[in-house]
Structure 1
Amino acid sequence: MVKSVPEWLNSSIWSTPNPSSDDRLQRYATKPSEETLTLKPDPIPPPQRPDKAAIAVPTPHEKAPPQHADKAPIPVSTSHEKTPPSSVEEPETLDSNANLSPEDVDRRARFFSELSRKVIDLRELRRLGSQGIPDCAGLRPTIWKLLLGYLPNDRDMWANELAKKRSQYALFREELLLNPDTEIAEQIDRDVKRTHPDMHFFSGDSALARSNQEALKNILLIFAKLNPGIRYVQGMNEVLAPLFYVFQNDPDEKSAAHAEADAFFCFVELLSGFRDHFCQQLDNSVVGIRSTITKLSQLLREHDEELWRHLEVTTKVNPQFYAFRWITLLLTQEFNFADSLHIWDTLLSDPDGPLETLLRICCAMLILIRRRLLAGDFTSNLKLLQNYPSANISHLLYVADKLRARARARAHSSV
């Protein structure tokens, strides 16, 4: 008897027909005129789509144990500046109270207090997480799992839920990795090897990097087989990477040993909110990527019409040429890795889902460099936006939150 795919993974949201090819990321990175030929090219190559034949889930047999990856220290960000790839070093372990302000110590205490409850108040956890999660004692991996709905808010249910999900993933590995689609497998392999080439955790020929690359490939292959409507699209590896990194670096060795399984289910949950951005045939629909980019344009016009007019009317910088990558890859390519994790803390903490917060952050990114943009022409502005400058992430998130407060105040005053 063929074991059915869990209902939540067999949802119609994954059933959109799959086109044979899609040059999504390259379309919006391509320069529209000769004057931009000297600009830095978008580092993400065009995605390739596999054929759209559905793959049935084979009959399960014995459970296969999950793969264990080598351990790595929890990262610490000591600077908000992006480090050139040629000089990037692995972050040091952050597990002490050194250089912490009283406010930071208090925030840690609030997180630990909330997580110690029998039934965790997710509303309070989201409020705390929206300001960033401290890099200590496994807070982020546990909180991300809660925010993504992978862990229930009742702590007494954790052991049972984790056992079920991890057992299910072991079956997926056993059944779906036996005969992977060669074309998809080769593309995933190429993309995974290009994931964060500046980090030893993901890149290189060490046992650690090889093990982590194998885990990423497994997750993406299984996802592609379980979701024949969307399968694998280039760029998914970049969205998966932060999840796996955070879970694999959990100081709780038992949890870290199941990072692959945990990252898979959290990846599915996260991508469900952005799934339509990866479907080319939905580009012009109300849920497609162009509609989302239009929302960003409207948001900028609402908060800074002068900047919007200069970009889109005067210099004719189409937001698709920079915002496509910002949105589809959830800003993983615009900032250094540690800062990206901080941004994701805020994205995942939004009770309405990460998209609205993502658009506000993107709008704040434009506003923070408005002077340079207002002084620039088409070529210089496009180059600046495709290679966003170093930023203070805490200030960026502060500005994004102010945009939310301003929008709410306007809505309230109009009632």
Structure 2
Amino acid sequence: MVKKQVPDWLNSSLWSSPASPPPIESPPQQRQQQQPSTPPRSTLRGEDAANRPSRSSPKSTNYSSESAVERPAIAVPPPAIRTEARRTKAEIRDPLSSNNNNYNYNSDEDNVSSTGSSTTSPSLAAGGSSAEDISRQAQLCQELSRKIINMGEVRKLASQGIPDGAGIRATVWKLLLGYLPCDRSSWPSELAKKRSQYKHFKDDLLMNPSEITRRLEKSTIDESNGKDKGLLSRSEITHGEHPLSLGKNSIWNQFFQDTEIMEQIDRDVKRTHPDLHFFSGDTPFAKSNQEALKDILIVFAKLNPGIRYVQGMNELLAPLYYVFKNDPNEENAAAAEADTFFCFVELLSGFRDHFCQQLDNSVVGIRSTITKLSQLLKEHDEELWRHLDVTTKVNPQFYAFRWITLLLTQEFNFADSLLIWDTLLSDPEGPQETLLRVCCAMLIIIRRRLLAGDFTSNLKLLQNYPSTNISHLLYVANKLRTKSAG
């Protein structure tokens, strides 16, 4: 059997890491503060790499309370540009942080990886924007100002990364997810309708049974024109309204069933990006954001009884809410919770089968998707596929399960994951195919280390993916698209 040759483009000079610029010297006391810490990674549905417990189990290797170690607050710079050097997973820009110290984010992993280095010019390190970003920002603003949005052009521009400085990512994501129509004149009415609908969802679904009973009591009194004032008599309380009722239609029985899910949601939300003050901490702002995430997930669980809540959904929700809450338009920022809910529903519609345990072994389940990734790798780099699948026997489920189900939110820092999502959401055919190409590119750009490794070293490497240049990663993923098309 003839071994499939490595594609010529893999030997391009693009694979060589350019020399990093000399580090900027900083005061001794500042250098002492530059030790980054890595937050615990989340695992969807509490799944371990080697063993996968049932979804009903609230315990998780990576979600354990022991792993949620409290870390000192880290001062981070304002929203960075696309070509900024990749930070360790603990270094995430935070709108509440005011200290803009220049940290040295180069890690040992950056120096070891043959393709993992990112370079930043001195001007960019100082916080400037590249000419490419400025040009793309201007083009996106121009497209968004049109009466009828050209979605083809918006997708093309957004797929290259949405510059942070313009504050337009929130609007672009709403367009890409189909939440906003192409006709700008209909935006006010559509937004008002959706936000009102979400308010009704909360009023109906988040009400305590005691409040429901009280309203029923008030309704009964009003119907009798106030003649029977006071509490309902024992005979007038229906079986479904009694707290000890076990009936399927009992509001109290349903409430107690929901309590377990609500407790799981509460635990997971509190662990969402513990390194980012936007989501964690004791500030009123952080707590209000946590409450918004919890309400969205509870409403979604009640409206989707077939899926309800699966551990890890909070990680998919966080980027959406973060982007929408930081919309420079104050009215939109105030309605971030409602907008996030509907966009979360749209996002999950393309991946909902991955969250149904009953469909895991079907053609639309998570195992089938992981198999597609393996086949994609075999198509583009058979040597690497054979080494992982046959020689070292690294089962793709040990690493790709989290990559796919959490849309890479746990493999890169928060800022880089937003850039990846720009590309994922821009695919007109849906994010899944692009996601698989990005995952395949993640394997290819560290192929030398994987080919030199055994089972243990490769599994450790893939479960703790090294620092990499996101622009280069997305370039390789796009190259895989064009090569497949050709």
Please report the TM-score for the alignment, with normalisation by the length of structure 1.
Answer: 0.80
Contact kept, 8 Å, 2:92 with 2:414, in 1: the verdict is: no
Give the match for residue 94 of structure 2.
Answer: 90
> For residues 234 and 31 of structure 1, what CA distance do their matches in structure 2 show?
16
> Is the partner of 1:172 in helix, strand or coil?
helix
Q: Equivalences for 1:266-277 in 2 at 5 Å?
A: 266-277=343-354
Code of the aligned partner of 2:79: P
Give the match for residue 43 of structure 1.
Answer: 62
Over 3 Å counting, the alpha-carbon distance change for 1:74 and 1:264 in structure 2 is: farther
CA shift, 1:76, in A, is 2.6
Code of the aligned partner of 1:83: T
Contact kept, 8 Å, 1:165 with 1:261, in 2: the verdict is: yes
CA shift, 1:136, in A, is 2.2
Give the match for residue 242 of structure 1.
Answer: 319
User: Deviation string for 1:245-276 (max 9, x for gaps)?
Assistant: 00000111110000000000000000000000
Contact kept, 8 Å, 1:304 with 1:367, in 2: the verdict is: yes
CA shift, 1:24, in A, is 6.8
1:354 aligns with 2:354: no
Larger Rg: 2
Contact kept, 8 Å, 1:166 with 1:262, in 2: the verdict is: yes
Over 3 Å counting, the alpha-carbon distance change for 1:271 and 1:241 in structure 2 is: same
> For residues 110 and 88 of structure 1, what CA distance do their matches in structure 2 show?
27
2:137 to 108, 127, 147: 108
> Is the partner of 1:203 in helix, strand or coil?
coil
CA shift, 1:359, in A, is 0.2
> For residues 165 and 79 of structure 1, what CA distance do their matches in structure 2 show?
37
> Is the partner of 1:29 in helix, strand or coil?
coil
1:317 to 387, 390, 394: 394
User: Deviation string for 1:118-169 (max 9, x for gaps)?
Assistant: 0000011101111010102321000000000000000000000000000001
Give the match for residue 409 of structure 2.
Answer: 332
Moved more, 200-209 or 147-156: 200-209
CA shift, 1:354, in A, is 0.1
Q: Equivalences for 1:115-194 in 2 at 5 Å?
A: 115-179=144-208, 181-194=258-271
User: Deviation string for 1:34-68 (max 9, x for gaps)?
Assistant: xxxxxxx96256xxxxxxxxxxxxxxxxxxxxxxx
User: Deviation string for 1:2-54 (max 9, x for gaps)?
Assistant: xxxxxxxxxxxxxxxxxxxxx9744552269xxxxxxxx96256xxxxxxxxx
Over 3 Å counting, the alpha-carbon distance change for 1:74 and 1:169 in structure 2 is: farther
> For residues 24 and 105 of structure 1, what CA distance do their matches in structure 2 show?
37
Give the match for residue 4 of structure 2.
Answer: none
Give the match for residue 281 of structure 1.
Answer: 358
1:216 aligns with 2:293: yes
Code of the aligned partner of 1:43: N
Over 3 Å counting, the alpha-carbon distance change for 1:375 and 1:330 in structure 2 is: same
> For residues 311 and 240 of structure 1, what CA distance do their matches in structure 2 show?
32
> For residues 325 and 206 of structure 1, what CA distance do their matches in structure 2 show?
31
Contact kept, 8 Å, 1:293 with 1:320, in 2: the verdict is: yes
> For residues 117 and 108 of structure 1, what CA distance do their matches in structure 2 show?
15
2:449 to 372, 384, 392: 372
1:298 aligns with 2:362: no
Over 3 Å counting, the alpha-carbon distance change for 1:24 and 1:259 in structure 2 is: closer
> For residues 303 and 164 of structure 1, what CA distance do their matches in structure 2 show?
47
1:200 aligns with 2:229: no
> For residues 435 and 131 of structure 2, what CA distance do their matches in structure 1 show?
30
Aligned residues: 351
Give the match for residue 242 of structure 2.
Answer: none
1:259 to 294, 316, 336: 336
Alignment RMSD, CA only?
2.4
Give the match for residue 471 of structure 2.
Answer: 394
> For residues 229 and 25 of structure 1, what CA distance do their matches in structure 2 show?
16
User: Deviation string for 1:365-384 (max 9, x for gaps)?
Assistant: 00010001000000000000
> For residues 408 and 321 of structure 1, what CA distance do their matches in structure 2 show?
29
Give the match for residue 58 of structure 1.
Answer: none
1:81 aligns with 2:86: yes
> For residues 443 and 375 of structure 2, what CA distance do their matches in structure 1 show?
13
Code of the aligned partner of 1:405: T
Over 3 Å counting, the alpha-carbon distance change for 1:230 and 1:327 in structure 2 is: same
Contact kept, 8 Å, 2:324 with 2:336, in 1: the verdict is: yes
User: Deviation string for 1:83-113 (max 9, x for gaps)?
Assistant: 253x66636799x996223222211111011
Please report the TM-score for the alignment, with normalisation by the length of structure 2.
Answer: 0.69
> For residues 343 and 268 of structure 2, what CA distance do their matches in structure 1 show?
20
2:49 to 7, 12, 29: 29
Contact kept, 8 Å, 1:311 with 1:317, in 2: the verdict is: yes
> For residues 434 and 484 of structure 2, what CA distance do their matches in structure 1 show?
12
Structure 2 portions without partners, runs of 5+: 1-42, 53-59, 65-76, 101-123, 209-254
Structure 1 portions without partners, runs of 5+: 1-22, 33-40, 46-72, 410-415
Give the match for residue 246 of structure 2.
Answer: none
Identity %, equivalent residues: 72
Contact kept, 8 Å, 1:25 with 1:325, in 2: the verdict is: no
